Each structure stands twice: as structure tokens, then as C-alpha cells.
């Protein structure tokens, strides 16, 4: 990316020597807020692994590959703590043969961007920063008031917006099928290992040979899978690793073969388009309710292959928290007079039988550059028995 090679510090570009990592989340959130609120047009950038020495010469510092692994998930952190939602991409770029990182923050047309919830004592809900030439400054009441006043003058009412599920009318409830999660590939493999473990224990108690274990193995796994004599301890260790071993098969089961695909629509009944809209959802987290964080891999040649970058980018941003699931989707401009799909690629869900007959509430928040205030409300998911 050319910007990484030519960038110098400005209101829309920040250079940083070291990666943020887990210990730098506070600074990351502050820097993203400051750049998002900068009074410029177009995307903004944070270049990781570059700085200038005392003589004004650019220096390059290699960034570890681990920083691009999704731990921490920089996009998810922005989704969780910053509102309105931002689109952030982070990717490695080579400069002088060394790997650096480039954050690209999408065109920020819905200022002010603020902390949605507290992160720490020094970064609280409602805090906002703005970047000047080479530093981040906390925004005061006067600056925020000016931005809100401008937004109110140029805005449309959230009362003109209807949000729901598509159909002959816009529905507020969506009924989903439930499935038997005991059929997950990892669960099936676990059941087989438990049977093998029981046979080994019985064989040991009766003093018999491993003939019964071999026969059981052939019945469970087939003649093409050779029998391996494993101790009970080894089998227990293998059970602990089943989720990892069968991750791609489980994801295909949950989010492809048994998936429920959830689409939503936004209907603008006002007199002018909504500019640069984005929708955020919050749903309960439950051990029988699965939401894909990304599209599942594609079966290919007895294995699984990655999706194309375009397919991956089209799927909404999903962040799994301990007690909630956060989903964010950039919609763009919403014209007047026709329902618009929220997701380019529908959200993938899978519901276990434990939730059959129950209901979940979904809270939504629609932001737009010219919305006077976010459109918000609640929808329901109903799980069929």
C-alpha cells in the first residue's frame, strides 16, 4: 500500500512504532476516536511499525505476524466500545522488506464518534477525542455541541425509519427452526470415543484382550480407519481436542448445512435519503445459540478451503461477548420509499433444541450521518419446537 511508504503525520495519518496488542487497547481506542473525529474527508490511517528519528528520517520496525491473527480483534473492540459504528481494516504491508501494519478507518461522515461504554477510569462513556496535526486531544463540551448542532440542522427524524424482517410486510418477529446439536461432528466423535473408553474399561475389568476394542473400533470408525491402541488418558486428552480437530466440520454443520439465514430490511419513509447508515444489533448469548463470526470454509478435495476476500468482506461484523452477541453492518445510503437489505451476506445462525419454544429479544440501533438521533427499537426471534 503506497500510503504506508509515503505517509507523514497529519490530522488523518498517525505513525506508531510499536503494535498496540492486548496492553495497548486504551491507546488504540483513543487513537481511533481521534482520527475518526478529525475534520477531513476520506479514510484515515494508522501505520504500525514506522516513526521518524531526530533528524526527520523515517525508520521501519518489523511487526510480528501474530498482530494480524485477530487476537486482539481490533474491529471487534471498535464495535464494542465506539459509536456510531466504524469500518476498520488492518492488514500487513511490506516496506523495505519488512512487515508493517496499516489500519484503514473508513470514511467517517457521522461525527462525533464517542465511547459507547466505559473501558477504564480514564476512558469513559461519552469521551471523544480529535486528532490535530500530531496528537490526540480530548473534545470539550463546546466542540461536541457544535457537531451535534450541525447534525441536528441537517438531520431527518428517526421516526421516519422502519426496521424489521422482510416479507409481504416488515415483520417484527422472525421464526427460526431448531436442530439437534448432538449431531455436531465433534459431538459424534466424542460419543464414539466414550464408547471406546467404556469398552477399554470393561476389557480391563474382565481381563479380556483388546479384541472387543478392535471390533468396536471397526464398527464405529469403519475398516478403513486403522485401530490404534490408546490408553484411557490418551483418549481423554483426545476428547479435549475434538472441538479444535473438527472445527471446520462443526462450522459447516452449524452455518451451512443446518444454518438459518437472517436478513433484515430498513425502510426510509422520510423525504430525503439517509447518508452513510449502519446498523448495530445486540442479541443474548446462549450455549444453544450460534452466530457465525465469519462465513464457514468451503468443502473442497476432502478438506476445506477459505472463502474469497469479497465473500468474507460482505459478511457483517460479529463480536461474541460473555453474555451478548454484537453485530454491525455498514449499509451506506438509504433511499426514500423502498425497503433496503441490511446485510449484503445474510447473518448465519444455528439454534439448538434447548431453545425450542423460547424467544430472544434483539435490540437494534441505526446510525446515519443525517439522522437527528439513532433509530432504535427491539425485534424478536421465535424458536420453533
The per-residue pLDDT for 208 is 47
At which of 245, 269, 287 does a domain end? 245
Cell 490418551 locates to 234
Handedness of CA 221, 227, 230, 234 (dihedral sign): negative
Q: Give 119's DSSP letter.
A: -
Is 94 among the domain residues? yes
Q: Among residues of the chain, what percentage have pLDDT more than 70? A: 85
Domain shared by 205 and 227, yes or no: yes
Inter-residue contact 163 to 366 (CB < 8 Å): yes
Task: Identify whether the C-beta of residue 73 lies closer than 8 Å to the C-beta of residue 319.
Answer: yes
Q: Rounded CA gap, 332 and 76, in Å?
A: 20
Domain membership of residue 252 (yes or no) is: no
- Tell me the average pLDDT across 294-310: 90
Strand order in the sheet with 289-291: 260-262, 347-351, 289-291
Say how many residues make up the chain. 385
In a domain, 254, yes or no: no
CA 274/CA 371 separation, integer angstroms = 7
User: How far apart (Å, rounded) are the C-alpha atoms in residues 62 and 27?
Assistant: 20
> Region 276-295: what's the mean pLDDT?
94
CA distance 313 to 295: 10
Residue 372, C-beta contacts closer than 8 angstroms, at least 6 positions apart = 151, 152, 155, 156, 157, 158
Residue 36 has pLDDT above 70, yes or no: yes
Domain boundary pick from 109, 135, 153? 153
pLDDT tens-digit series, residues 254-264:
999 999 999 99
Q: What is the mean pLDDT of the chain?
A: 86
* Orientation angle between helical segments 74-81 and 25-36, nearest 10 degrees: 70
- pTM more than 0.85: no
CB distance 350 to 260 below 8 Å = yes
Structural domain that includes position 288: 158-180+260-383
- Distance CA(152)–CA(68), nearest Å, equals 39
Give the model's pLDDT for residue 236: 62
The pLDDT assigned to 87 comes to: 86
Q: Identify the three-state secondary structure at position 75.
A: helix
pLDDT per position as a tens digit, 157-199? 788 899 999 998 999 999 999 999 989 888 887 776 666 666 6
Residue 253 lies in a domain: no
256 CB contacts (<8 Å, ≥6 apart)? 296, 348
Q: Give the per-residue pLDDT at 33.
A: 96
> In terms of domains, do 133 and 197 share one?
no
Query: For residue 213, is pLDDT > 70?
Result: no
Rounded Cα gap, residues 324 and 284, in angstroms: 4
| The last residue of a domain, from among 193, 211, 245 | 245
How far is CA 271 from each of CA 150, 235, 274, 339, rounded to the nearest angstrom?
19, 66, 10, 14
C-alpha cell at 104: 484503514
**Are 347 and 379 within one domain?**
yes
324 and 223, same structural domain? Answer: no
30 within 8 A of 37, measured Cβ to Cβ: no
Number of C-beta neighbours around residue 62 at 10 A: 13
Instruction: Give the separation between CA 109 and CA 347, rounded to whole angstroms.
Output: 25
Q: Same domain, yes or no, for 134 and 169?
A: no
Residues 6+ apart with CB under 8 A from 303: 248
Rounded to 10°, the helix 232-240/185-206 angle is 170
Number of domains comprising the chain: 3
Q: What are phi and psi of 317, to 5 degrees?
A: -80, 125
Phi, psi of 355, deg, nearest 5: -100, 0
Residues 41 and 123 in one domain: yes
- Report, as an integer, the average pLDDT of 348-364: 95
Same domain? For 208 and 265 the reply is no
The pLDDT assigned to 207 comes to 44
Tell me, yes or no, whether 255 lies in a domain: no
Compute, in degrees rounded to 10, the torsion defined by CA atoms 330, 334, 338, 339: 20
On whether residue 41 sits in a domain, the answer given is: yes
Instruction: Read off the CATH number of the domain in which 15 is found.
Output: 3.30.950
Indicate whether 121 and 170 sit together in one domain. Answer: no
Can you read off the three cell numbers belonging to residue 185? 461432528
Q: Any bridge partners for residue 260, and if so which?
A: 349
- Same domain? For 18 and 115 the reply is yes
Assess whether 117 and 26 both reside in one domain.
yes
CA 121, CA 309: separation in Å to the nearest integer?
Answer: 38
Amino acid at each position: 500500500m503506497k500510503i504506508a511508504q509515503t505517509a507523514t503525520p497529519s490530522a488523518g495519518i498517525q505513525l506508531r512504532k510499536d503494535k498496540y496488542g492486548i496492553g495497548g487497547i486504551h491507546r488504540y481506542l483513543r487513537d481511533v476516536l481521534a482520527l475518526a473525529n478529525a475534520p477531513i474527508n476520506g479514510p484515515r490511517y494508522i501505520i504500525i511499525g514506522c516513526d521518524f528519528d531526530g533528524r526527520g528520517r523515517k525508520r521501519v520496525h518489523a511487526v510480528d505476524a501474530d498482530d494480524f491473527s485477530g487476537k486482539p480483534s481490533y474491529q471487534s473492540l471498535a464495535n464494542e466500545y465506539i459509536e456510531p459504528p466504524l469500518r476498520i481494516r488492518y492488514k500487513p504491508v511490506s516496506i523495505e522488506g519488512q512487515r508493517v501494519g496499516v489500519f484503514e478507518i473508513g470514511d467517517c461522515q457521522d461525527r462525533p464518534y464517542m465511547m459507547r461504554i466505559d473501558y477504564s477510569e480514564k476512558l469513559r462513556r461519552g469521551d471523544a477525542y480529535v486528532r490535530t496535526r500530531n496528537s490526540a486531544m480530548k473534545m470539550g463540551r463546546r466542540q461536541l455541541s457544535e457537531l451535534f448542532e450541525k447534525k441536528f440542522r441537517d438531520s431527518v427524524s428517526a421516526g421516519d425509519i422502519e426496521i424489521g424482517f422482510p416479507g409481504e410486510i416488515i415483520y417484527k418477529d422472525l421464526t427460526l427452526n431448531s436442530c439437534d446439536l448432538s449431531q455436531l461432528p465433534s459431538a459424534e466423535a466424542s460419543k464414539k470415543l466414550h464408547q471406546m473408553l467404556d469398552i477399554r474399561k470393561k476389557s480391563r475389568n474382565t481381563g479380556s484382550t483388546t479384541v472387543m476394542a478392535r471390533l468396536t473400533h471397526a464398527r464405529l470408525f469403519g475398516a478403513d480407519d486403522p485401530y490404534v491402541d490408546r490408553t484411557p488418558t490418551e483418549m481423554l486428552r483426545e476428547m479435549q481436542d475434538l472441538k479444535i480437530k473438527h472445527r471446520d466440520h462443526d462450522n459447516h454443520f452449524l452455518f451451512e448445512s443446518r444454518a438459518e439465514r437472517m436478513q433484515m430490511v430498513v425502510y426510509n419513509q422520510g423525504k430525503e435519503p439517509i447518508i452513510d447508515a449502519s446498523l448495530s444489533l445486540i442479541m443474548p448469548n446462549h450455549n444453544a445459540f450460534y452466530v457465525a463470526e465469519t462465513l464457514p470454509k468451503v468443502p473442497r478435495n476432502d478438506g476445506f478451503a477459505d472463502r474469497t476476500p469479497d465473500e468474507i468482506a460482505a459478511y457483517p461484523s460479529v463480536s461474541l461477548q460473555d453474555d451478548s452477541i454484537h453485530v454491525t453492518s455498514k449499509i451506506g445510503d438509504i433511499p426514500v420509499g423502498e425497503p433496503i437489505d441490511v446485510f449484503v451476506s445474510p447473518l448465519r445462525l444455528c439454534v439448538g433444541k434447548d431453545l425450542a419454544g423460547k424467544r430472544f429479544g434483539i435490540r437494534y440501533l441505526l446510525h446515519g450521518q443525517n439522522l437527528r438521533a439513532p433509530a432504535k427499537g427491539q425485534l424478536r426471534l421465535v424458536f420453533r419446537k
